[in-house]
Structure 1
Amino acid sequence: MLKEITAAEELVELDKKHFVHPTTSLVDQQQKGPSFIFTEGKGIYLTDVSGKKVIDGMSSLWNVNIGHGNQELAQVAYDQMSKLAFSSCFTTFSNEPAIRLATKLASIAPGDLNAVFFTSGGSESNDTAFKLARHYWILKGQPNRQKIISRTKSYHGVAMGATSATGLKPFRDFTNSLAPDFYYVDGSSIEELHKVIEQEGPETIAAFITEPVQGAGGVNLPPEGYLQEVRKICDEYGILMIADEVITGFGRTGTFFGVEHYGITPDLMCFAKGVTSGYAQLGGVLLSEKVHKDLIKLSNGTLLHGYTYSGHPTACSVALKNIEIIERDNLVENSRLMGQELLKGFKYLQEKHQIVGDVRALGLMGGIQIVKDKQTGESFETHVSPKIVTEAAKRGLIIRTVTFDQDTLVFSPPLIINKQEIDQLIQILDDAISAVEQELLG
Structure 2
Amino acid sequence: MTNQKKQQLEALDKKHFLHPTSSVQQQQQYGPAIIFEEGHGIYVKDIEGKEYIEGMSSLWNVAIGYGRKELGIAAMEQMNKLSFSSTFSTFSHEPAILLAEKLANMAPGSLNTVFFTSGGSEANDSAFKLARYYWILQGKPERKKIISRKKAYHGVATGATSATGIPEFHQVTNSLAPDFIHVDSDSVEALKEAIEQEGPENIAAFIAEPVMGAGGMFIPPDDYLKEVRAVCDHYSILWIADEVITGFGRTGKMFGVENWNVVPDILTFAKGITSGYFPLGGVLISEEVFQVFKDKSSGTLFHGFTYSGHPVGCHIANKNLEIIEKEKLVENSQLMGLELIKGFKKLEENLNQVGGIRAIGLLGGFELYIDVKTKKRFAEKTAPKVVAEAAKNGLICRSVTYNDSDTVVLAPPLIITKEEVDKMINILHESIKTVVAGL
* TM-score normalised according to structure 1 size: 0.98
Partners of 1:207 and 1:167 in 2: how far apart? 16
Partners of 1:4 and 1:361 in 2: how far apart? 39
How far does residue 357 in structure 1 lie from its aligned partner after superposition?
Answer: 1.6
- Residue 289 of structure 1: aligned partner: 287
Q: Does 1:235 align with 2:253?
A: no
- Residue 426 of structure 1: aligned partner: 425
Aligned-partner residue type, residue 192 of structure 2 = H
Question: Where do residues 240-255 of structure 1 align in structure 2 (5 Å cutoff)?
Answer: 240-255=238-253
Aligned-partner residue type, residue 220 of structure 1 = F
Query: Cα deviations across residues 311-359 of structure 1 (Å, max 9, x unaligned)?
Result: 1000000000000000000000000000000010001001111111210
Question: Where do residues 362-377 of structure 1 align in structure 2 (5 Å cutoff)?
Answer: 362-377=360-375
**Greater displacement, 107-116 / 375-384:** 375-384
Q: Does 1:340 align with 2:338?
A: yes
How far does residue 378 in structure 1 lie from its aligned partner after superposition?
Answer: 2.8
Query: Cα deviations across residues 105-145 of structure 1 (Å, max 9, x unaligned)?
Result: 00000000000000000000000000000011000111100
Partners of 1:396 and 1:168 in 2: how far apart? 30
- Residue 415 of structure 2: aligned partner: 416
Q: Does 1:319 align with 2:313?
A: no
Question: What root-mean-square deviation, in Å, do the aligned CA atoms of Structure 1 and Structure 2 show?
Answer: 1.1
Partners of 2:205 and 2:125 in 1: how far apart? 12
Find the partner of 2:64 among 66, 81, 95.
66
- Residue 382 of structure 2: aligned partner: 384
Query: Would the alpha carbon gap of residues 275 and 5 (structure 1) be closer, same or farther in structure 2, given more than 3 Å must change?
Result: closer
Question: Where do residues 11-410 of structure 1 align in structure 2 (5 Å cutoff)?
Answer: 11-405=9-403, 406-410=405-409
Partners of 2:94 and 2:202 in 1: how far apart? 40
How far does residue 377 in structure 1 lie from its aligned partner after superposition?
Answer: 2.5
Query: Would the alpha carbon gap of residues 4 and 282 (structure 1) be closer, same or farther in structure 2, given more than 3 Å must change?
Result: closer
How far does residue 4 in structure 1 lie from its aligned partner after superposition?
Answer: 11
Partners of 1:268 and 1:189 in 2: how far apart? 21
How far does residue 376 in structure 1 lie from its aligned partner after superposition?
Answer: 4.1
- Runs of 5+ unmatched residues, structure 1: none
**Greater displacement, 354-363 / 327-336:** 354-363
Q: Per the alignment, in what secondary structure is the counterpart of residue 436 of structure 1?
A: helix
Partners of 1:116 and 1:222 in 2: how far apart? 27
Partners of 1:266 and 1:103 in 2: how far apart? 18
Q: Per the alignment, in what secondary structure is the counterpart of residue 438 of structure 2?
A: helix
Partners of 1:439 and 1:313 in 2: how far apart? 52
Aligned-partner residue type, residue 437 of structure 1 = V
Aligned-partner residue type, residue 190 of structure 2 = E
Partners of 1:151 and 1:336 in 2: how far apart? 27
Query: Would the alpha carbon gap of residues 5 and 364 (structure 1) be closer, same or farther in structure 2, given more than 3 Å must change?
Result: closer
Query: Cα deviations across residues 15-52 of structure 1 (Å, max 9, x unaligned)?
Result: 11000000000100011111111110000000010000
Contact kept in structure 1, 2:2 and 2:48, CA below 8 Å: no
Partners of 1:431 and 1:156 in 2: how far apart? 34
- Residue 435 of structure 2: aligned partner: 436
Aligned-partner residue type, residue 37 of structure 1 = I
Partners of 2:329 and 2:185 in 1: how far apart? 30
Query: Cα deviations across residues 290-316 of structure 1 (Å, max 9, x unaligned)?
Result: 001111111021100000000100000
Aligned-partner residue type, residue 331 of structure 1 = L
**Would you say how many aligned residue pairs link Structure 1 and Structure 2?**
438
Partners of 1:219 and 1:63 in 2: how far apart? 15
Partners of 2:146 and 2:34 in 1: how far apart? 39
How far does residue 172 in structure 1 lie from its aligned partner after superposition?
Answer: 1.5
Q: Per the alignment, in what secondary structure is the counterpart of residue 6 of structure 1?
A: helix
How far does residue 223 in structure 1 lie from its aligned partner after superposition?
Answer: 1.1
Partners of 2:241 and 2:385 in 1: how far apart? 33
Partners of 2:375 and 2:313 in 1: how far apart? 44
Q: Per the alignment, in what secondary structure is the counterpart of residue 114 of structure 1?
A: strand
Partners of 1:150 and 1:82 in 2: how far apart? 43
Aligned-partner residue type, residue 267 of structure 1 = D
Identity %: 61
Aligned-partner residue type, residue 425 of structure 1 = M
How far does residue 224 in structure 1 lie from its aligned partner after superposition?
Answer: 1.6
Aligned-partner residue type, residue 46 of structure 1 = V
Aligned-partner residue type, residue 427 of structure 2 = I
Partners of 1:5 and 1:216 in 2: how far apart? 34
- Runs of 5+ unmatched residues, structure 2: none
Partners of 2:202 and 2:369 in 1: how far apart? 41
* TM-score normalised according to structure 2 size: 0.99
Partners of 1:139 and 1:364 in 2: how far apart? 40
Partners of 2:64 and 2:109 in 1: how far apart? 25
